[in-house]
Amino acid sequence: MHRQYRHDPGRPLPGRRMKGFVVDASVGVKWLVTEPLSAESATLLDSDATLLVPDLFFAEASSALAAKHRHGEMSREELAEAVDLLRVAPVATPLSMRQLASSAARLAVDLGHPLYDCFYLALAIHEDYPVVTADTRFYEKVSRHPYLGDRVVHVGDLGSA
């Protein structure tokens, strides 16, 4: 069910810009539990890509894991282990939610979409990386937008990204 991480958080080789992604919680949860698209999500961990998240990622992913416990999909011990692994996930948080809030709010209004997803998008725009998501609704909304469409990748499409 759980995996060990081998990638050093957000550490590209000196003097070389590496490919990267902003990872949303829908993908991070799939690193820790077996469900559809877990294998595709794991390809990020097995790559040399820089992985970035807003600090909201930890609250959202932990909440999703807790919901799995409430629905009987995980034991209390599995939940605790998954949250502990989440804390050491190979991701970097270069900007705080405070720093992203204005941009995220503007994006939420522009897209007509919930604010919390737009924190990932605001970070992606700032860092010039795409958001990788398993959230089909978010993916569809952003990918159809006239000037944001290239800012999102569905985790199921990582092989062609």
Q: Tell me, what's the pLDDT at 122?
A: 98
What percentage of the chain carries pLDDT values higher than 70? 87
List, in order of start, the domains of the chain with CATH numbers.
Answer: 20-160 (3.40.50.1010)
**Which residues have CB under 8 Å from 85's CB, separation 6+?**
2, 3, 5, 31, 32
Q: How many CB atoms lie within 10 A of CB 72?
A: 7
> Model's pTM, two decimal places?
0.86
Q: What is the C-alpha to C-alpha distance for residues 151 and 157, in angstroms, rounded to an integer?
A: 14
Convert the pLDDT of each residue in 72-125 to its tens digit.
999 999 999 999 999 999 999 999 999 999 999 999 999 999 999 999 999 999
Q: What is the C-alpha to C-alpha distance for residues 128 and 133, in angstroms, rounded to an integer?
A: 16
pLDDT grade, residue 158 (50/70/90)? Answer: confident
Q: Using CB atoms within 10 Å of the CB of residue 118, give its burial: 0 to 12 exposed, 13 to 18 middle, 19+ buried.
A: buried
